[in-house]
Structures are given as C-alpha cells and as structure tokens.
C-alpha cells in the first residue's frame, strides 16, 4: 500500500507560488502521519547515492541474524582501491561484528562496510544476492547496488526509492540507535579511539533525529537521509547531490524551519512551494503537495525481512 500511495503522490503536482531556498539537486520530504509528499525536487532521477548504500548493507547483515559478538578482522581486501579513501580503522584490527556495524553506520567507515559484506554467510557474492533480493522486496525499482560501501558510482537510486529504504531501515532498532549516536569510543589495538557521526546535526539541540546517514563521492555530491520529528510530524528527508557540505546542512535546516514555521535561510537555488493542483505535467523545482493520501493512513508499519 505504501508503494502505491507514494507513487500516486509523486505524480501529483501543483502550480507555483512562493520560492523556498534549496541547493540539493534532488530531494524528497515525506510526512508519515498523513502519507503526504511535502516537498519534492526531481525525485525520480536515477543518480549515484554514495554511502547512503550503507543503510542497505546494514539491513541485509541484520536480516542474516549473524552473531554481533563474533570477532572479525579488518583485512587488506577491505581497503578501498577504487577511490583510495582514508580510514581510521587499521588493517589487522579485531572487532566485534556489532562494533564493525557501528563504525559503518555512525562514522561511515568503508573498510567496516566491506568487512561486513566479506564475512556475510556465503561471502560477498551471497551478500550481493541478498541485497538484490532486498531491493526487490522493498519495491525499489530504480535502484542498483553493486557493492557495500557506496564508493562505486554504479550504486544508483532515486530520492523516491530512498524514502522506501529509509522507512524500512527505521524498523530496525539497531540501525536507528547506531545512526543517531553523536560519537562513541572504540578499543583499537589497545587504544581508546573516538569516532564521530558524519551528520553533525545528530545530537544538536533542537533536533529530534530518529535515523541518519550521510554520503559523499565526487559523482554523488553531498547526500543525506534522515527520519526526524519536527512540529509533531514524523518526516523522512532525502537530499541528494548538494555541491557542498554546508549547502546540504542549510537544506536540512530549511526543511526543519519550513516544518516549524521559522524564517528560512537563503540558498543559491530555489524550490517551489505549491498551493494549487497543477493541470498537467511535471514542473521544474520542488513543490509542496497537499494530498490527503487516505490509503497511506491505514498503512501498518512492519519490519521487512
């Protein structure tokens, strides 16, 4: 029911009114209680998703019900040879699988995500088969994920599909907990090392963030998924391809300010706020959709496995 309702809402557009500042090239803000798409900007274009991928990696790993206390090693094969990205998790360190999952989600460590796929039952091949099945199960028809970290530009999706992924990930208590910690300390070869959340809004006063994941590659730009509560509403926010980290944060701030009725920050580009139904076709920009979405109200939350 959720998939059909979301599709119907994405096809519902409205005429333009005043401009709302926005910098991300693709965006979607979905309100859970009403089933309404509040804001939308080019949400059906398929683009690279960077480390947002790691939410899918986490779901597939948790679905396998592996022992989170089992100690696994970070190996040389887990090192990024595609982008040569840095990591604060050294090769040879031994960590509980639960800690590796924690590092992959909270601090977006690529070696950690690679190790989770490598130690999946049946190895990386079985992991990717499980990812493909999960994508199909969630109805993410415009999504392809070829590896666990998001470093590959071939990991691609749409803002609309990523709302589905965020909604599913929010039903996993482990994911909501690990992605909403601002920092934690890990024992790395006998040293206490602090790792921080890549989303600096997590833990900030005035923010009630219930799920979070950032992403960045040159191809994907600055990306962000959040499930958050503001002004009594639970919303899923997807922001894709902001050119700068500060622009991504301003976009997130403006979503919250829009929801709470506060003045908006200025941005380099604009999205559109809609006030009436469009007669035909898609328009450029982001639009407020005042849709009743009756069928979404009766949607029951469930853990997708």
Q: Output the domain CATH number for residue 119.
A: 3.40.710.10
Categorize the per-residue pLDDT at 264 as very low, low, confident or very high, splitting at 50, 70 and 90.
confident
* Residue 97 in domain: yes
Alpha carbon of residue 69 to chain centroid? 26
Domain hosting 191: range is 2-79+91-297
Give the Å distances, CA to CA, from 70 to 25, 67, 181, 194, 254. 41, 5, 22, 22, 42
In a domain, 85, yes or no: no
Domain assignment present for 302: no
How many folded domains does the chain comprise?
A: 1
Specify if 154 maps to a domain. yes
Q: Domain for residue 18, yes or no?
A: yes
Report pLDDT for 20: 57
Residue 55 domain-assigned (yes or no):
yes
Q: How far apart are CA 153 and CA 131, in angstroms?
A: 17
Convert the pLDDT of each residue in 177-227 to its tens digit.
Answer: 999 999 999 999 999 999 999 999 999 999 999 999 999 999 999 999 999
Inform me whether the pLDDT recorded for 280 exceeds 70: no
Mean pLDDT confidence for 278-299: 36
Q: Please check whether residue 57 lies inside any domain of the structure.
A: yes
User: Does 277 reside within a domain?
Assistant: yes
* d(C-alpha 139, C-alpha 3), whole Å: 7
Of 82, 48, 95, nearest to 240 by C-alpha is: 48
- Average pLDDT in the 238-246 region? 96
Average pLDDT over residues 51-65: 98
pLDDT confidence band for 112 (50 / 70 / 90)? very high
CA distance 184 to 137: 33
For range 73-95, the mean pLDDT? 97
Residue 268 confidence class, pLDDT cut points 50, 70, 90? low
Q: With bands split at pLDDT 50, 70 and 90, how would you rate the model's confidence at 293?
A: very low
What confidence score (pLDDT) does residue 251 get? 95
Q: So which residues are the catalytic ones?
A: 51, 54, 108
């Amino acid at each position: 029911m959720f998939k059909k309702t979301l599709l119907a809402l994405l096809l519902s557009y409205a005429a333009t009114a005043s401009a709302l500042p926005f910098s991300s090239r693709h965006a979607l803000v979905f309100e859970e209680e009403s089933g309404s798409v509040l804001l939308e900007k080019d949400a059906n274009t398929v683009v690279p998703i960077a480390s947002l991928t790691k939410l899918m990696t986490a779901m597939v790993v948790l679905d396998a019900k592996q022992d989170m206390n089992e100690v696994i090693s970070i190996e040389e094969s887990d090192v990024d040879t595609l982008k040569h990205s840095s990591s604060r998790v050294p090769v040879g360190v031994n960590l509980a699988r639960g800690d590796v999952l924690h590092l992959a989600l909270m601090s977006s460590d690529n070696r950690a995500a690679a190790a989770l796929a490598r130690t999946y039952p049946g190895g990386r091949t079985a992991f990717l088969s499980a990812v493909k099945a999960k994508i199909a199960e969630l109805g993410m028809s415009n999504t392809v994920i070829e590896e666990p970290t998001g470093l590959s530009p071939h990991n691609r999706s749409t803002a609309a599909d990523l709302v589905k992924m965020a909604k599913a990930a929010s039903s996993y208590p482990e994911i909501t907990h690990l992605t909403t910690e601002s920092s934690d300390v890990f024992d790395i070869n006998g040293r206490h090392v602090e790792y921080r959340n890549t989303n600096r809004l997590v833990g900030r006063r005035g923010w009630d963030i219930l799920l979070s994941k950032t992403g960045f590659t040159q191809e994907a730009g600055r990306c962000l998924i959040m499930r958050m509560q503001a002004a009594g509403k639970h919303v899923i926010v997807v922001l894709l391809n902001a050119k700068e980290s500060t622009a991504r944060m301003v976009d997130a701030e403006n979503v919250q300010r829009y929801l709470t009725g506060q003045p908006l920050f200025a941005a380099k580009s604009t999205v559109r706020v809609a006030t009436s139904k469009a007669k035909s076709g898609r328009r450029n920009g982001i639009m407020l959709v005042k849709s009743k979405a009756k069928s979404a109200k009766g949607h029951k939350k469930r853990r997708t496995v």
